[in-house]
Amino acid sequence: MSNSKEWPLWEVFLRSRAGLDHKHCGSLHAADGPMALQLARDVYTRRQEGVSIWVVRADHIHASDPTDKAALFDPMADKIYRHPTFYELPDEVDHM
Amino acid sequence: MNASITALNPAHAPYVLRIADGSLILAQRLSECCGHGPALEPDIALTNVALDLLGQARLLLSHAGALEGAGRDEDALAYWRDASQFRNPTLCELPNGDFAQTCLRTFFYVAWQAQLWTALSASKDAALAAIAEKSSKETRYHCEHLAGWVVRLGDGTANSTERLQRALNYLLPYTNELFVDDDTDLAAAAAGIGPLPSSLNDAWTAQVQAVLAEATLKLPATTPFRSSGRRGQHSEAMDYVLAEMQSVARAHPGAQW
């Protein structure tokens, strides 16, 4: 393999227990999906970290550009009426 | 009744010891690969297989020692026997060779273990059946992982196909030994301890041939050659395996971590 092309990069997501969400835990190189799943099992679940694995090719993920952070997220900061905590609830409404 | 078989039946210790030694010696061989895999991830994967095999060996050696009743624990059996007292099939001790040979040898053996564990789960030796039950889950993954590599390499580039074909021609004759019955096997089978090696042949052959066909490899002609590791007559490779495995324990007898 040494002089051939590099294996593509895969992002690995683990569900640690039934009922929880899959969480991103790292990445690895593998030739294809089935190999990525097997290697994720060996690299990331050796200490019982997971009960389910997703792998996604890193180049299939569309990610926001960190330099767009101000344009994307800052406008939310002064619109506190979008947060449920902005409103006073009547006493009859418990447990919001 | 099961307990009495477990505690006191030296007659079946050699049967268990063969299975234990196969796991131990292959674990030792695979451990040599640690840090030498073709890439980080497959290196970790192969080392995981080595650790699983070592775990099986520990349980099986302890059990063989208990059956034998001579006061030998897993360490005594692993570190203080010489080559002629080991009973692993020769296949397990052969040099790793290249990655193709390492993968194919391991696949041949774990596929054999898969058949063995299934048969042992019905053993009248309850402890042995429990070890088989635990190991079968590990072995199912080992088979899947190694079969994957055999197919990828066999049906891969011209170079990888040639290397795997060479490994197949070299290794296949050593698998004959896995299916030869002798008195130890006949006694264990008659007592309901475990299967005759010959009874595992058909299922193993079907499983292996399906993978080799998918890997586009050509089966070499069968040969009457039979290695003899299970009888304690090993290849010249065995002394090197043991020298590396046993040197620390023998240099520092009784040392503790």
Q: Does residue B157 sit at the A interface (CB-CB below 8 Å)?
A: yes
Cβ distance A38 to B38 less than 8 Å, yes or no, reads no
Instruction: Identify the architecture of domain A9-86 in CATH.
Output: Roll (3.10)
Among B19, B21, B26, CA closest to B84: B21
pLDDT per residue over B28-84, tens digit each?
A: 999 999 999 888 999 999 999 999 999 999 999 999 999 999 999 999 999 999 999
Higher pLDDT, B256 or B52: B52
Residue A50, pLDDT above cutoff 60: yes
Tell me which chain A residues have a C-beta less than 8 angstroms from the C-beta of B44: 39, 42-43
**To probe the interface with B, which of A35, A47, A49 has the most B CB atoms within 10 Å?**
A35
Q: What SS3 state is found at B133? A: helix
CA distance B74 to B62: 5
Q: Does residue B214 sit at the A interface (CB-CB below 8 Å)?
A: no
CA distance B133 to B29: 24
- The pTM assigned to this predicted structure is 0.88
Q: What is the mean pLDDT of residues B166-180?
A: 98
Among B186, B212, B210, B211, CA closest to B198: B186
CB pairs under 8 A between A and B: 32
- Answer yes or no: are the C-beta atoms of B48 and A42 closer than 8 Å: yes
Q: Does residue A6 sit at the B interface (CB-CB below 8 Å)?
A: no
Task: Quote the pLDDT of residue B2.
Answer: 47
For residue B161, the Cα-to-chain-centroid distance in whole angstroms is 25
Give residue for tokens 């490899």: B217
pLDDT-based confidence at residue A4 (cuts at 50, 70, 90): low
- Answer yes or no: are the C-beta atoms of B111 and B208 closer than 8 Å: yes
CA distance B202 to A69: 63
Residue B130, pLDDT above cutoff 70: yes
Tell me which chain A residues have a C-beta less than 8 angstroms from the C-beta of B157: 4
Contacts (Cβ under 8 Å, ≥6 apart) of A32: none
Task: State phi, psi for B253 to the nearest 5 degrees.
Answer: -60, 135
Residue B6, pLDDT above cutoff 60: no
Q: Does residue B155 sit at the A interface (CB-CB below 8 Å)?
A: no
Tell me which chain A residues have a C-beta less than 8 angstroms from the C-beta of B163: none
Task: Quote the pLDDT of residue A1.
Answer: 42
Q: What is the mean pLDDT of residues B176-198?
A: 97
Among B230, B237, B246, CA closest to B88: B230
Q: Which domains does chain B possess?
A: 2-219+231-251 (1.20.1260.10)
